């Protein structure tokens, strides 16, 4: 063996360690080489020079310290503000890759998850080979229309087709191509409840077909209402998948009784017990006067418009209009459009003519986030982000029941006498 071969052999362990923590693009940038060069090294198509050992040694401790006690590694796609990540970190997971395209969501995410691996932008521009190995893929992917016509035509012609043909042009395709390449032990996908009925059920049919038949995963789906945990009706579908054939069943979820939590649990407290949050500068609540900032109260003009709008539709037999709620109520679903007029959730105010909208801090609480969660963006951006977020306690319970099947591949759930499946 030549000296070059010996030195190259010594580089492999460091390169492999770096790839568990960094993308090929990040390693290429650090070593000042072309990304294709790193890819050839990893595929053993060429030999890395021996002198790179020292450069890779510097890369490991300085940029991406490992978490030795992590129970598993996961990636966070379409990450938003990190609600899904929170739950899976709590059960012992380590996030090794994050993708989120919106720069304002990135800002909120970075403020709450200082991370050495950074945040990748548009996932459609990320090569799946550049994503670190991981045990679990997490994704709150957006729902987009799927083209069924092309698949039907291929079926009629007796031609083979795969997920690339069925889902190309949708963001689900990016989830599928990463699963196909990295083969994680498990995944959890989150979406709106209507994903099941979109396009008369054909969209969901394509998704399940890809995950089960094309990619070979055992898939279980469950629609859960956030009202089990927070004072908000918010139904979302969770799609769990496992590479191994396991006895996972969503029926093992421990869901509290719905509608027990009430709006008063998340509203700013005016009795002097509202916590002082230094990281937000108390920008939503005036502690001296013991009240919510008056800017969240609707103007006379907006309140008159909303009442007129509701009355007009009521006369036509429609249900459109504002949602006026008090401390003992449960709200409608908080949406990303809440910043426009706040009409879907308006809070009654004692002794005032006009109601008010929720503050961003109250929206965070409505999604099950603690008061330690930082909100570094404007109100408009914050409303959009919380309207697009997951209800964290729902994901926390999902993570809890998935953990044994992630960390113990041969785990079989115990039988519960009398459990109806």
Burial code (b: 16+ CB inside 10 Å, e: under 16) for 104-118 equals bbbbbbbbbbebebe
247 CB neighbour count, 10 Å cutoff: 13
Structure tokens at 162: 């795969």
- Maximum Cα–Cα distance across the chain: 88
> 385 near 80, Cβ under 8 Å?
yes
In this structure, what token pair is assigned to residue 85?
Answer: 């990540």
Catalytic residues: 143
Q: Are 334 and 232 in contact (CB under 8 A)?
A: yes
Using the structure block, give the residue that is written with the tokens 């996908």: 189
What residues does 220 pair with on adjacent strands? 240
Alpha helices in 130-170 (DSSP H): 149-157, 163-167
The whole-angstrom separation of Cα 77 and Cα 100 is 7
Contacts of 295 (CB under 8 A, 6+ apart): none
């Amino acid at each position: 063996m030549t000296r070059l071969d010996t030195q190259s052999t010594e580089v492999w362990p460091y390169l492999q360690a770096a790839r568990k923590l960094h993308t090929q693009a990040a390693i290429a940038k650090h070593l000042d080489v072309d990304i294709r060069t790193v890819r050839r090294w990893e595929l053993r198509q060429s030999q890395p020079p021996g002198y790179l050992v020292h450069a890779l040694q510097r890369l490991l401790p300085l940029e991406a310290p490992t978490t030795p006690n992590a129970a598993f590694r996961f990636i966070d796609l379409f990450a938003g503000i990190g609600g899904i990540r929170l739950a899976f970190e709590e059960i012992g997971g380590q996030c090794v890759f994050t993708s989120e395209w919106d720069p304002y969501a990135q800002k909120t995410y970075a403020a709450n998850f200082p991370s050495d691996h950074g945040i990748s932008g548009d996932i459609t521009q990320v090569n799946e080979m550049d994503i670190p190995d991981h045990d679990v893929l997490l994704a709150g992917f957006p729902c987009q229309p799927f083209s069924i016509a092309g698949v039907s035509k291929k079926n009629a012609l007796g031609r083979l087709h795969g997920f690339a043909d069925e889902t190309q042009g949708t963001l689900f395709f990016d989830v599928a191509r990463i699963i196909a390449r990295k083969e994680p032990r498990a995944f959890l996908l989150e979406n709106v409840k209507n994903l099941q009925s979109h396009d008369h059920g054909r969209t969901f049919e394509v998704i399940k077909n890809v995950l089960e038949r094309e990619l070979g995963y055992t898939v279980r789906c469950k629609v859960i209402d956030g009202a089990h945990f927070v004072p908000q009706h918010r139904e979302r579908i969770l799609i769990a998948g496992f590479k191994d054939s396991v006895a996972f069943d969503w029926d093992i979820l421990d869901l509290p009784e719905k509608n027990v939590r009430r709006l008063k649990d998340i509203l700013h407290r005016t009795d002097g017990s509202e916590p002082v949050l230094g990281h937000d500068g108390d920008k939503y609540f005036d502690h001296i006067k013991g009240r919510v900032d008056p800017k969240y109260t609707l103007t006379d003009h907006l309140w008159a418009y909303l009442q007129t709008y509701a009355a007009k539709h009521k006369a036509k037999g429609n249900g459109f209009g504002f949602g006026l709620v008090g401390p003992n109520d449960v709200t409608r679903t908080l949406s990303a459009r809440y910043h426009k007029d706040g009409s879907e959730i308006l809070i009654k105010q004692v002794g005032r003519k006009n109601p008010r909208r929720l503050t961003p801090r109250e929206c965070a609480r409505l999604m099950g986030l603690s008061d330690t969660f930082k909100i570094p963006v404007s109100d408009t951006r914050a409303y959009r982000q919380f309207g697009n977020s997951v209800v964290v306690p729902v994901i926390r319970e999902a993570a809890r029941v998935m953990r044994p099947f992630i960390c113990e591949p041969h785990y079989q759930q115990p039988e519960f006498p009398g459990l109806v499946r």
